[in-house]
Amino acid sequence: MKILISCLLLITLVSSTQSVFALNNKKVLLIGIDGLQYEKLKDVATPNYDRLILHKAYTGGIQGTPSQQDTKSGPGWSTILTGVWANKHRVTSNDSGLANEEFPSLFKRIKEADNNHWVGSISNWSPINSNFFTTDLEKADLVLSGLSDADVTARAIQEISSGHVDFLFLHLDDPDGAGHSSCFGDRYNESIRTSDTQLGELLNAVDSRIANGEEWLVLVTTDHGRDTRGCGHGSQTVNEKTIFIGSNLPLNAEHNDYVEDIQNKDFGGIYGYSAQTSIAPTILRFMDIDLQTTWKLDGNPLIGSPGTRKLMSASNTSINWYSTDSGPVEVYQNDQLIDVVDASTRSWTDYTGVQGILDYVLVYNDTPVALRKSALEIIAGLDWNGSRAYYFRGDNQYVRYNKILDKTANDYPRTTDNSSWPGLGDYANQIVAAFKANSDKGYFFLSDGRYLRYDLNDDQVDSGYPKLVDNNSWPGMASYASKIRAALKWPNSKVYFFLEDGNYLRYDLEDDQLDSGYPKPINDNTWPGLGAYATEITAAHQWNMFRAYFFLKNQRYIRYSITTDQANSGYPRITDDNTWPGLMNP
């Protein structure tokens, strides 16, 4: 009997050990090599990069959409480690602080899946550990920052060889430093050769663990490309958007197959390659961590069955994707299942009319892929005495904007209600335009043809309002009362009203009447640079005596020079955290 019990105990112990081993047998090494141009790998001998299955990919988001981000290290590494673009993780520059906790990094997600997982980060560039993901790394088993590339490599080999690593992220920096100091050339090529040697040492250490019975995924990538000379980066160009993803294991079609049949063929069709956002969900899936729809990950995993491929905005309300197969695609909007379509349709249109930041998640092959769109419009701008301006949004919220610091004040947006704007709250969903007439009064115009006068000193709507916009209150304006979509006070007695039909009015506050000869069409003769956007204007605001801003549909804006009376070149631009910090925050 004692022998039988001992055998049972031994079997139980072995079974338990095997179970734990199976749980923790999948290991990941993520190697990031800063600023390494994909095309330059072909200029030098790289026997160790050649050991990988390596394909082109892209960074920088989709230009002209809310996902667009600078091709810089802060946004790039944060996207790699979170699986979402900067409009979600909010690391928009190298100087950003903590990343958005709503979209945790791999460090936190892996620990949350199983606290027994050994997680580490060894980085040459310190901000990854000390700025962006400090909180996520609080429970990590190893965090080292500011090491040389040689020391990063040596310490990583030590940790890998110890047998306890489950997930380890490494950051090597020499190619980026060589590019910034010397551009493309001999020094840059030498930095590639050095990184290849270091990569070989790391792969050898991993191969030793594989020979020991462990299952390893090694991914090698970079955060951004470089400009044509190799000196800098940060912009939306083909070179700067080009990165790569290399793997020691075969990956799926999303990694291996270039898709030419996509609607957006910008940058030579770069969006037909895999996205930088795919790295994080690939690692999570490899480690048997189920991808949740509520995580809203933008990337398509590169192992297992991919979800909806090449998911992109087709318009302000439509989404499209690439598919050669059929099957149900579940469509979630802000965590609610709202539709099911067939993958073969390759597109879907949102007819809900919901305003605000919209997070879509499409689930296909049990794989969620997300896309954040903005149906959020700036509907009015009101200057205030001093350095403040207020912007009202289509989701019945507003922000206070500091014009000196050029960013949204803390703790905004806030709800437009009678506590924040006494007398205005009841009409928050009807506001279509606003302007500051003088240091005492401001005006709000409503979609039903009424208006309110706001006292800037008493901070409340004057009694007796709203009133109708008619020929008594605004002589000459009665016929246009319900067509107003924006108002712009010029640095004199004139106010310009922009109408939904692409025309505009000029009103003289001193004469208190509409100027003769109006309405006139908004074109490039009357408003140089605005003509193409005549029916897309949603708000206008005089920033100072020298310039104004026009906000457009689809989250864009134009800067307009009052001095030269024309739109500045290079516009419209996307209204996002880079251009208007905090203005579109959820």
Sequence-separated (6 or more) residues with CB below 8 Å from residue 102: 88
- Is 583 inside any structural domain? no
306 within a domain of the structure (yes/no): no
Contact 312, 262 (CB under 8 A): yes
* 478 and 331 share one domain: no
Which residues sit opposite 33 in a β-bridge?
Answer: 172
In a shared domain, residues 355 and 388: no
Q: Which of 374, 395, 414 is the last residue of a domain?
A: 374
Q: For residue 408, what are the domain limits? A: 378-574
Residues 310, 320: Cα–Cα separation, whole Å: 8
- Given 358, 374, 390, which residue is the final one in a domain? 374
Asked if residue 62 belongs to a domain, the reply is yes
User: Are both 465 and 519 inside the same structural domain?
Assistant: yes
Is residue 129 one of the residues assigned to a domain? yes
The CATH code of the domain that includes 418 is 2.110.10.10
Helix intervals (H) in 98-140: 106-113, 127
Residues 6+ positions from 520 with CB-CB distance below 8 Å: 503, 504, 526
Domain-located, residue 308 = no
Regarding whether 340 and 451 lie in a shared domain, the answer is: no
Query: Residue 117: its pLDDT value, please?
Result: 98
pLDDT along the chain (586 residues), means of 10: 39 39 76 98 96 98 90 98 96 94 98 97 98 98 98 98 97 98 97 98 98 97 98 96 98 97 94 98 98 98 97 89 96 97 97 86 98 89 93 95 95 96 96 97 97 97 98 97 97 97 97 98 97 96 96 92 97 88 88
Question: Do 409 and 490 lie in a common domain?
Answer: yes
Q: Which two tokens stand for residue 201?
A: 């040492």
Kindly report the CATH number assigned to the domain that includes residue 172: 3.40.720.10
Shared domain check, 458 and 507: yes
Q: What is the pLDDT of residue 60?
A: 97
* Whether 87 contacts 372, CB under 8 Å: yes
Sign of the dihedral through C-alpha 475, 476, 479, 483: negative
The answer to whether the beta carbons of residues 307 and 362 sit under 8 Å apart is: yes
Chain centroid, CA 420 distance in Å: 30
Name which of 473, 478, 483, 407 is nearest 443 in CA terms.
473
Neighbours of 98 (CB within 10 A): 14
The structure's pTM equals 0.76
Judge whether 73 and 91 are in contact, CB under 8 Å. no
**Token pair of 330 as six digits:** 């579940």
Q: Do 519 and 390 have their domain in common? A: yes
- Kindly state whether residues 360 and 439 are assigned to the same domain: no
Q: Are residues 59 and 103 in the same domain?
A: yes
**What integer pLDDT is reported at residue 62 of this predicted model?**
94
pLDDT of amino acid 66: 84
Task: State the total domains in the chain.
Answer: 3
**Is 111 within the bounds of a domain?**
yes
Q: Are residues 469 and 556 in the same domain?
A: yes
518 found inside a domain: yes
Do 211 and 66 fall within a single domain? yes
418 located within any domain: yes
Whether 198 and 281 map to the same domain: the answer is yes
Q: Which of 356, 374, 392 is the last residue of a domain?
A: 374
